[in-house]
Amino acid sequence: MKNPAERLLGGHAFGTLTDEERHELFTAALEDQELFDALADQEPLRELLADRVVRNELLDALDRPSLVERVRAALRRPATWADLAAATAAVLVVVGATHLLWPRAVQAPRMAAARPALLRALFDLPAQRGIAADLHVEAERITFRVERDAQAILAAQDRDGAMTQVFPQPGDVARVAKGVTLSTARPSGAVRVRLVVFPLEIDPLTLDEGTLRTVPHPLTVIEWRPRTSPGGKTT
């Protein structure tokens, strides 16, 4: 505070200064331009507060509890049956929401990728056609679609024999809707792409190479390999 009389500014606006305080403030304002300006800036407020009607309206507004006060008051009052019912309903809503949302959240990582052994086993499966499906591999993208709701894994193998799961992406499920064309980026260096389609009731991401053998056939196994042109170029 540059001028001690500044402490009195708020009292001037509300018209509550004592005679001594008024004398101190106005005398100081005559000597101090900054204090004078502060006093002048407050004039619109002082003018409003000089109106008795406005003062009463402001008092009414202050008599209504603020949001913070309402929350505090609600927390302080004794609990009633209605509070218990509301709290129970809130708990039920939270539990219900958790049941709906939690499984996806926790299962997503588990379903994100098949184990390498399963990928190898998938590449060992003989070609077969259970559920009608199409697979197209282009330079940059791979697209596929199934003609029935099903579950599918799309895997790629590079020149070194390393296998990667292309679909489903981490966090996704293997479920594919009927007639929907899915598209994904083609892994660089992929020389072998394999789409394996399972019936809807079989989640391939929960399988391993042993349980894969127990799955009733026929599945759908479609493989793509680059065609080699007469010049030795692959497409």
Min separation Cβ 20 and other proteins, Å: 10
Task: Closer to other proteins by CB, 9 or 174: give it.
Answer: 9
Residues 93-132, one symbol each (x = binds other proteins by CB under 8 A, - = not), give ----------------------------------------
Count of residues interacting with other proteins (CB under 8 A): 49
Q: Residue 33, interface with other proteins (CB under 8 A)?
A: yes
Looking at residue 177, what DSSP letter applies? Answer: -
**Choices 34-42, 151-159, 163-171, 181-189 (CB under 8 A): range interacting with other proteins:** 34-42
Min separation Cβ 2 and other proteins, Å: 12
Looking at residue 179, what DSSP letter applies? Answer: T
Q: In this chain, which of 3, 55, 182, 222 binds other proteins, going by CB under 8 A?
A: 55
Helix (H, G, I), strand (E, B) or coil at 156: strand
∠ Cα 96 100 103 (to 5°): 125
Q: Give the closest residue to 173 by CA, choosing from 193, 202, 133, 194.
A: 202
Q: Residue 141, interface with other proteins (CB under 8 A)?
A: no
CA distance 98 to 102: 5
Place of tokens 């499906």: 133
Looking at residue 217, what DSSP letter applies? Answer: S
Task: Closer to other proteins by CB, 20 or 201: give it.
Answer: 20
Inter-residue contact 155 to 123 (CB < 8 Å): yes
Min separation Cβ 70 and other proteins, Å: 10
Q: How many CA atoms lie within 13 A of 212 on its CB side?
A: 21
Inter-residue contact 206 to 151 (CB < 8 Å): no
Q: Residue 73, interface with other proteins (CB under 8 A)?
A: no
**Choices 8-16, 146-154, 183-191, 209-217 (CB under 8 A): range interacting with other proteins:** 8-16
CA distance 224 to 58: 79
Given the DSSP bridges, would you call strands 220-224 and 190-199 parallel, antiparallel or unpaired? Answer: antiparallel
Residues 6 or more apart whose CB falls under 8 angstroms from that of 65 comprise 73
Q: Residue 31, interface with other proteins (CB under 8 A)?
A: yes
Q: Residue 3, interface with other proteins (CB under 8 A)?
A: no
Q: Residue 147, interface with other proteins (CB under 8 A)?
A: no
Min separation Cβ 75 and other proteins, Å: 15
**Residues near other proteins (CB under 8 A):** 1, 6-18, 21-23, 26-27, 29-31, 33, 36-37, 39-49, 51, 54-55, 57-59, 61-64, 66, 68-69
